[in-house]
Chain A
Amino acid sequence: MINIQDIRDTARDMLAKGEVRAVIGWRAGSRGMPAEPAVITAPEQADELVWDPTCYHNLALHLVEDRKFLAHARKTSGAPIAIVAKGCDARAVVVLMQENYFKREDVYIIGVSCEGSGVLAEWKLARHLNGAVPTAAAFAGDEFTFATAAGEKRVPARDVMADRCLECRSPFPKEHNVALGEDKTGRDLAAPFAALARFETRSEGERWEFWQRQFERCIRCFACRSVCPMCYCEECVVDSINIAVAPDTTAEEKANRIRWIERSATRSENITYHMTRAMHLAGRCVDCGECERVCPVNIPLRLLNNKMEREARERFGYEPGASIGGPSLVASFRDDDPGDFIR
């Protein structure tokens, strides 16, 4: 069981000694729960940090934001930045380092084990609380506890845990500078790719119909892209700034810029956007499931990324986020790679 004081002490100590310039962690949200990402820079802020089942966010995203901020401000990083990382967050950091987005020594990883548990799916919780509004959540072994106006409620964790956590293959942050909590990797909650396997029992026609309907519902708020640590491109294919504008760029050139995907949130444009994103995440997505969590209209985006992940695993034995020094899926080649798809 992780003691929150250990996280706070580690953060406070490192900030006080100047070993890191900031610590990215979670603090309580303005409504109590869920927690929210926090970037703290002073030792006295360490007591704000929390660790509970609402620490959903993949904080690797904020490492990316930090690096972009430094690049835009033309600053060098100086001391490393620390990140409190769950298993999935740490895998994302590994992929980013594998892609040379930043160097290992620039990041100090305070690993936190989910200890055989995981984070909450709020939509599942609603069914257990009979209308009571939770204001705080806590880990309690195989259960989560919730503070409500009607007193404390205890719910079996596996009943309200996010699917991504039920199916997680590596809930312990293997890559770390310091790790807190026990490594309970060999847990038995749900089979890997279970949701995908259930979905694939449907016929091709049913699946196509399903996805057409889902993409019809997309409002193109781009929360899935914005929340993804792997979507770090300075210019995204969907943005209308997808043209390098120089002082001598003519109005004609601006008007005739290539737009791969129109602004209109119509089915065909939405499909192109989501397919492009899924392809760009092949071999990179670490299944943190944030895209699915944040989607305001509940499009089950994990299914798409899981499909790519399973293909990579089954065909190439590839596991994203496993090693910093290892080859990446799309930038490596082996003589025994399957080639039966080339016709």
Chain B
Amino acid sequence: MSMEKILDKERLSDWIAALAKSGMEVNAPALEDGVWTYKPVDGAVRMDHPNTKQPPKGFAFPQREVFFSFEQIKGEAPRLKQVLPESPQRVVFGVRPCDGRGAVRMDRVFGNQVDDPYYQARRKNVAYVGLACNTAPAPTCFCKSVGGSPVSTDGLDVLLTDLGDKYFAQAVTKTGEALMAAADKLFAKASPADKKSVGKVHADALAQPQRAVKDAEAAPAKLKAAFNSPLWEELARACIGCGICTFLCPTCHCFDINDEVTGSTPMKGSRVRTWDNCQFPDFTMHSSGHNPRENTAARLRQRVCHKFQYFHENFGMLQCTGCGRCVSECPVGIDIVAVVNKVAEHVG
């Protein structure tokens, strides 16, 4: 039986303040420049965000990070120094269930056969306090059709559900229990009536109609069959090759590694990892100049098949969590739901 408690909305800022006071970096969504962004906070927060523009994946997988620094005095051997991140204890409030499920997928990539020490050093210090969706979904939401739900606890440490003037707080992990225990006296016991209310709110949320990837379970096989289809060219006709869809995705994790030289006498610099993007022309550019994904059609196929086929083959789950960012933010209306459905229909 997981820990289930009630937190008056007025007490949320006290909880955040208590966590901040204990030395944690507390982050919550804030509207800045018209963009919902996670920002460090120490008390009052807004929790009325639709979803943040960028998912919280950057807390464990930042857009840029240093692997090691190097220095070489002429005639001597180069000296390397590994730079492991010293990540503060962090808690992120207001994570939507689709992004919690995104974290599950990132964890599989960076901690499956090989633990990525840079990712792990940050990840072990991040806790996610989720917020269940209980309003009408955005026109671009499709979490239910890819195995998620607006009230999913996957990947979250605590799930908050808005019950009007209070939150129903459900600890999902030991970390979540500790976060709640850290301000134990702010929480009240959940009564049977509260449990009934939360059940109703969750049921209502689940009943909200959403757009859907039709038969997502069948998508991996359908996409595999459509690899050489001319349809990709048509679907990518409007694609402009920008990186919005993948940079805003909660599960895109491709990266590039470069040496950034900052001085010449002695020669020094650092090796850095940055996000890479399968929509960029140089993504799989070989050093010969050949590029196996040389046009937007091949790149769109890569993005969609990675989400709905390759990841499934590797990890037994769809990579897409249905957050809808790539749909709502695409400058030219490329819609992954429509793409998967059209391809499936085409294959028959």
The answer, yes or no, to whether B230 is at the interface (CB within 8 Å) is: no
In this complex, what residue of B is CB-closest to A213?
B33
Query: Nearest residue in A to B137 (C-beta to C-beta)?
Result: A133
Taking a contact as CB atoms closer than 8 A, the residue among A36, A62, A222, A263 that contacts B258 in the complex is: A263
Residues of chain A lying within 8 A (CB to CB) of residue B34 = 123, 298
Residue contact B287 to A223, C-beta cutoff 8 Å? no
Q: Which of A2-45 contact B (CB under 8 A)?
A: 29-31, 34-39
- B333 near A29 (CB under 8 angstroms)? yes
A297 close to B33 (CB less than 8 A): yes
Interface centre among A123, A240, A249 (most CB of B within 10 A): A240
Q: Give min CB distance, A86 to chain B, whole Å.
A: 16
When distances are taken between beta carbons in the complex, the residues of chain A under 8 Å from B80 are none
Q: Does A188 contact B (CB under 8 A)?
A: no
Of all chain B residues, the one with the shortest Cβ separation from A54 is B333
Given A29-B335, A239-B280, A298-B34, are A223 and B242 also a contact pair (CB < 8 Å)? yes
Chain A interfacial residues counted at CB < 8 A? 48
Interface residues on B, range: 35 or more
Chain A neighbourhood of B139, CB < 8 A:
31, 133, 135
Q: Is the CB of A217 within 8 A of B274?
A: no
- Contact for B335 among A31, A65, A133, A219, CB less than 8 A: A31
State whether A298 and B35 are in contact (beta carbons under 8 Å apart), knowing that A222-B242, A239-B282 are contacts in the complex: yes
Q: Which of A72, A263, A265, A294 contacts B244, CB < 8 Å?
A: A294
Tell me if B243 counts as interface (CB < 8 A to partner A).
yes
Does A61 lie at the interface of the complex (its beta carbon under 8 Å from any beta carbon of B)?
Answer: yes
Query: Residue A338 at the B interface, CB < 8 A?
Result: no
Residue of B nearest to A36 (CB): B333
Q: Contacts of A128 on B, CB cut-off 8 Å?
A: none
A146 → B minimal CB distance (Å)? 13
With A57-B332, A264-B64, A265-B274 as known contacts, state yes or no: A227 contacts B285, CB within 8 Å.
no
Closest to B259 in A: A255
Name the interface residues of A77-97: CB closer than 8 Å to any CB of B. Answer: none
**Contacts A223-B244, A296-B53 hold; do A247 and B288 have CB atoms under 8 A apart?**
yes
With CB as the reference atom, state the residue of chain B lying closest to A133.
Answer: B139
Are A36 and B337 in contact, CB atoms less than 8 angstroms apart?
no
Cβ-closest chain B residue relative to A255: B259
Min CB distance A230 to B, Å, is: 13
CB distance from A274 to the nearest CB of B (A): 15
What is the number of contacts between chain A and chain B, taking CB atoms within 8 Å?
116
Interface check A221, CB cutoff 8 A = yes
In the complex, which residues of chain B have a beta carbon less than 8 angstroms from the beta carbon of A240?
A: 256, 258, 282, 285
> Complex: how many Å from CA A266 to CA B285?
24
A223 in contact with B285 given A31-B139, A264-B272, A265-B63 (CB within 8 Å): no
Q: Does A226 contact B (CB under 8 A)?
A: yes
A265 / chain B contacts, CB cutoff of 8 Å: 63-64, 274
Interface presence of A241 (CB below 8 A): yes
Smallest Cβ-Cβ distance to B341: which chain A residue:
A30
Q: What is the minimal beta-carbon distance from B291 to any residue of chain A, in angstroms?
A: 9
Q: Which chain B positions have C-beta within 8 A of A69? A: 295
A37, B289: Cβ atoms under 8 Å? Answer: no
A284 within 8 A of B: no
Instruction: Give the interface segment out of B8-16, B21-29, B117-125, B233-241.
Output: B233-241
- Shortest C-beta distance, A332 to chain B (Å), equals 31
A residues 295-312 in Cβ contact with B at 8 Å = 296-298
Q: Specify the chain B residue showing the minimal Cβ separation from A73.
A: B295
A176 within 8 A of B: no
Contact B241 A226 (CB under 8 A): yes
Cα separation A13 to B108 with both chains bound (whole Å): 55
* Contact B247 A263, beta carbon cutoff 8 Å: no
Residues of A within 8 A of B242 (CB): 221-223, 225-227, 294
Of B272, B280, B332, chain A has the most CB atoms within 10 Å of the CB of B332
Residues of chain A lying within 8 A (CB to CB) of residue B335: 29-31
> Across the interface, which residues of A come within 8 angstroms of B287, CB to CB?
245, 249, 251, 254
Residue of B nearest to A31 (CB): B139
Residue in B closest to A297 when the chains form the complex, CB atoms? B35
- Tell me whether A62 and B140 are in contact in the complex, defined as CB-CB below 8 angstroms, given that A30-B333, A123-B34, A223-B244 are known contacts: no
Which of A36, A72, A241, A293 meets B285, CB within 8 Å?
A: A241
Asked if B248 contacts A296 (CB within 8 A), the reply is yes
A135 to B211 Cα, complex, angstroms: 14
Nearest opposing residue in chain A for B287, CB measure: A254
- Selected from B238, B244, B258, B337, the residue in CB contact (under 8 A) with A37 is B238
**A38 and B243 contacting across the interface, CB-CB below 8 Å:** no
CA distance A311 to B241 in the complex (A): 31
- B115: chain A residues within 8 A (beta carbon): none
Cβ of B277 within 8 Å of any chain A Cβ, yes or no, is yes
Interface residue? A262 (CB, 8 A): yes
The residue from A38, A225, A247, A264 contacting B274, defined by CB atoms under 8 A apart: A264
Chain B residues lying within 8 Å of A246, measured Cβ to Cβ, are: 289
What chain A residues lie within 8 Å of B244 (beta carbons)? 221, 223, 294, 296
User: Which residues of B lie under 8 Å from residue A31 when comparing CB positions?
Assistant: 139-140, 211, 327, 335
For the complex formed, measure the closest distance between the CB of B13 and the CB atoms of chain A, giving whole angstroms. Answer: 25
Asked whether B194 is an interface residue with its Cβ less than 8 Å from the other chain, the reply is no
Nearest A residue (CB) for B342? A30
Cα distance A65–B240 in the bound complex, in angstroms: 8
> Which chain A residue shows the least CB distance to B63?
A265
User: A223 to B331, Cβ gap below 8 A?
Assistant: yes
List A204-236 residues whose CB lies under 8 Å from chain B: 217, 219-223, 225-227
Any A CB within 8 A of the CB of B260 = yes
A220-B242 Cα distance, complex, nearest whole Å: 9
Residues 208-248 of B at the A interface (beta carbon under 8 Å): 211, 237-238, 240-244, 247-248
13 inter-chain pairs at a CB distance below 8 angstroms, sorted by A residue, are A29-B335, A30-B337, A31-B139, A34-B333, A37-B333, A39-B237, A61-B240, A135-B139, A223-B244, A245-B288, A266-B64, A294-B242, A296-B247
Give 13 new A-B contacts, CB below 8 A, not counting A217-B33, A240-B282: A30-B338, A37-B332, A57-B331, A221-B243, A221-B244, A222-B243, A227-B240, A241-B281, A245-B289, A265-B63, A265-B64, A294-B331, A296-B244
Q: Which 6 A-B pairs have the closest CB atoms?
A: A36-B333, A226-B242, A223-B242, A221-B243, A294-B331, A29-B333
